[in-house]
Amino acid sequence: MNQETVLDMARHAIEIAIMVGAPMLLVSLVVGLLVAVFQAATSLNEATLSFIPKLLAIFAAMVLAGPWILSVLVDYMRELLINIPTYVG
């Protein structure tokens, strides 16, 4: 295994991590922004008002994106395991 192979594997792993984390992060960002605008408009400064909607939205995003995330991770692991002889040899 040479340096190029290791760097390619690391790049691919980072891409997969970003793809898997993006749905929850984007949902959290949007909900947090909406709650912040609501809090600014109504002058409500309650900490749980921003936490609970984000928690529920992230849970919903995990339920909706879960099968896709699982298939992406399984495909990545399958590719890694199948290519072990290529990486070693």
Token pair of 15 as six digits: 């891409």
Give 7-65 pLDDT, tens digit per residue.
999 999 999 999 999 999 999 999 999 999 999 899 888 877 888 999 999 999 999 99
Report in angstroms the alpha-carbon separations of 38 from 46, 48, 49, 52.
11, 13, 10, 14
Residue, of 71 and 87, whose pLDDT is higher: 71
Q: Note the Cα 18 to chain centre separation in Å.
A: 6
The string of DSSP letters for 12-49 reads HHHHHHHHHHHHHHHHHHHHHHHHHHHHHHHT---HHH
